[in-house]
């Protein structure tokens, strides 16, 4: 098999030149990124004046845009970097910061806010003032990824503390904080949420995936300290089922949100792979590991979506790295590349390379074939051991593509190394919020992956999708004792922001309640789908409803009806009436 020369990015640089370019950038940018991240943490950070101890400001920018707030999601991702560097022995001086974060989050959890109290939904509040008081203005709420991300950061810290004989502190201080978040996730994961860009209210791939990780990791920690985690594992099974529904087999990519009216090609999906990376799971596609065929296919589709969107990507070969943003239809600041989105592409590939090295082989499937054919136009489906020339050529090309992606960000990083939120799609000049803490965190995690840093396992290895999927929500029932899995498909066209829900005559279908109706997946739009466990051999009535800006529209009469079989599974195909 003839291996074609990989068309390298940035005006035909060689692999060694690309590596040297990335090396040079990382050598100067890594300490700047770390200093930038630390500067945005209160109370001592040089740009975090007024922030309480352990509070992360999103950015020191106070106008156009005003980001001088603390987001639970951003803070948790930022402190995941801090905790990883501490627990992996990269910087043992960060212990005090980690303790400050857990105390700050303990306080934030108890602050009543527009989403509710600690026991009535307040944990889903996305952002707070930097003095730990509630933000009461209009906002996209709730955002249900925050509690999951906060818990995984604290669980990683808790496991390290247990390894270092701090079990009393973990059980008495950390576990109550973590348990509040895990209980929230277990009870609310099947409810609608705003996505991580705070624009679409539906279900989000990123949110579902990090919720699944949180419950798996939480159950393991519970077992380790003698607490009950059975509820978390039960709900995680439903999440893992639901996670599969985002895959769009026709397009070869992950549909980022079940609503929103967009193509679904979104950095959300790439961020998911890197933030649920577990090298012990290998290239598992069930959890969309970075080197899985679905994640690699998705990455190519995502990157390609930006080739003709930004002027700065013009003239770059179709197999070379480009700047990427949130999603191609983005209109925020007219839609531009984001540093964190571009770094995420590189990080996924570095994680994939680490996993292939660990496995000693690389597998090309029909799903990932298009991804690999960017680098070798004649590569065939098959498994290539690390001793083979094909493995060597492909991994070298992937490494160069990742390095080239880092070099794209390097090209548009100002001379002082400061990382804003975006850079202009036409000129490459920094845009939007200056010194975005998440941008600095994304640089550090990409650099750590390139240097071979492997985060702690969270329990992704060996997971399988249940043969019968729970319907979700807080009950955790399904999959046993006289139930059958019924898949509902309905053809329904919608407007942007409108979603389709299912409700009906039995408890599993929420007893005709529009307020708790089950959100359906639009991964194969205009067909909306949902699999629910229903009582076997039962006559059931149901209807679909539309919800748009809070307004509920019911399908026309009469009710739909079905009789479930005594065992197995069942599928109904409907069209909106």
Three-class DSSP labels, 419-441: CCCEECCCCCCEECCCCCHHHHH
What count of other Cβ atoms lies within 10 Å of the Cβ of residue 410?
A: 18
**Residue of 181, 173, 159, 201 lying closest to 76 (CA atoms):** 181
Catalytic residue among 145, 181, 195, 284: 195
Distance CA 291, CA 293 (A): 6
CA distance 425 to 17: 25
Distances from the Cα of 89 to the Cαs of 61, 143, 178, in angstroms? 33, 32, 23
Q: Cis peptide before 156, with omega less than 30 degrees from 0?
A: no
The set of residues, in sequence order, having a beta carbon less than 8 Å from that of 273 and lying 6+ positions away, is: 288, 289, 290, 292, 295, 299, 348, 351
The SS3 call for residue 84 is helix
The Cβ of residue 507 has, within 10 Å, a number of other Cβ atoms equal to: 12
How does 454-480 read in b/e, with b if 16+ C-beta sit within 10 Å? bbbebbbeebeeeebbbbbbebbbbbe
- Of 415, 414, 562, the C-alpha closest to 490 is 562
Known catalytic membership, residue 29: no
- Say how far apart CA 403 and CA 411 lie, in whole Å: 12
Is residue 93 classed as helix, strand or coil in its secondary structure? helix
The one catalytic residue among 198, 199, 304, 329: 198
Q: Which helix (H) or strand (E) element contains residue 247?
A: strand 247-248
192: helix, strand or coil: coil
Establish whether 195 is a catalytic residue.
Answer: yes
Alpha carbon distance 529, 227 (integer Å): 36
- The catalytic site residues sit at 195, 198
């Amino acid at each position: 098999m003839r291996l074609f020369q990989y068309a390298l990015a940035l005006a035909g640089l060689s692999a060694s030149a690309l590596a040297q370019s990335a090396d040079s950038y990382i050598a100067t940018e890594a300490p700047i990124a770390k200093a930038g991240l630390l500067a945005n943490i209160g109370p001592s950070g040089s740009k975090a004046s007024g922030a309480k101890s352990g509070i992360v400001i999103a950015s020191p920018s106070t106008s156009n845009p005003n980001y001088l707030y603390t987001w639970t999601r951003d803070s948790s991702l930022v402190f995941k970097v801090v905790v990883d560097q501490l627990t992996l022995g990269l910087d043992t001086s960060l212990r005090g910061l980690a303790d400050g974060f857990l105390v700050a989050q303990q306080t934030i959890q108890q602050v009543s806010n527009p989403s509710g109290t600690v026991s009535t939904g307040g944990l889903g509040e996305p952002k707070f003032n930097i003095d730990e008081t509630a933000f009461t203005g209009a906002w996209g709420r709730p955002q249900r990824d925050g509690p999951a991300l906060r818990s995984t950061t604290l669980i990683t810290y808790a496991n390290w503390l247990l390894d270092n004989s701090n079990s009393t502190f973990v059980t008495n201080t950390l576990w109550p904080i973590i348990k509040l978040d895990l209980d929230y996730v277990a009870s609310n994961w099947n409810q609608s949420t705003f996505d991580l860009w705070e624009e679409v209210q539906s279900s989000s791939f990123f949110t579902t995936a990090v919720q699944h990780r949180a419950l798996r990791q939480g159950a393991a920690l519970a077992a380790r300290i003698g607490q009950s985690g059975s509820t978390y594992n039960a709900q995680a099974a439903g999440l893992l089922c639901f996670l599969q529904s985002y895959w769009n087999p026709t397009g070869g990519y992950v549909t980022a949100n079940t609503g929103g009216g967009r193509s679904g090609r979104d950095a959300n999906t790439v961020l998911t792979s890197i933030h649920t990376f577990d090298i012990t799971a290998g290239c598992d596609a069930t959890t969309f590991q970075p080197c899985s065929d679905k994640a690699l296919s998705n990455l190519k589709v995502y990157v390609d979506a930006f080739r003709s969107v930004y002027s700065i990507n013009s003239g770059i070969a179709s197999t070379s790295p480009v700047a990427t943003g949130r999603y191609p239809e983005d209109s925020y600041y007219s839609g531009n590349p984001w540093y964190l989105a571009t770094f995420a592409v590189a990080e996924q590939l570095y994680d994939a390379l680490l996993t292939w090295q660990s496995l000693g082989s690389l597998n090309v499937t029909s799903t990932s074939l298009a991804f690999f054919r960017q680098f070798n136009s004649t590569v065939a489906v098959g498994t290539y051991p690390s001793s083979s020339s094909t493995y060597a050529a492909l991994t070298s090309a992937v490494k160069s593509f990742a390095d080239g992606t880092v070099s794209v960000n390097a090209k548009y990083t100002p001379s002082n190394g400061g990382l804003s939120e975006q850079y202009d799609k036409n000129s490459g000049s920094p845009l939007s919020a200056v010194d975005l803490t998440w941008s600095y965190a994304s640089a550090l995690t990409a650099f750590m992956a390139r240097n071979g840093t492997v985060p702690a396992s969270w329990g992704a290895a060996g997971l399988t999708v249940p043969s019968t999927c729970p319907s979700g929500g807080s009950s955790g029932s399904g999959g046993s004792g006289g139930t059958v899995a019924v898949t509902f498909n309905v053809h329904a066209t919608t407007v942007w922001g409108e979603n389709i829900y299912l409700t009906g005559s039995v408890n599993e279908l929420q007893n005709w309640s529009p307020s708790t109706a089950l959100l359906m997946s639009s991964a194969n739009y205009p067909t909306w789908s949902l699999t629910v466990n229903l009582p076997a051999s039962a006559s059931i009535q149901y209807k679909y409803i539309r919800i748009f800006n809070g307004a509920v529209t019911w399908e026309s009469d009469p009710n739909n009806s079905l009789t479930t079989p005594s065992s197995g599974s069942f599928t109904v195909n409907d069209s909106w009436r």
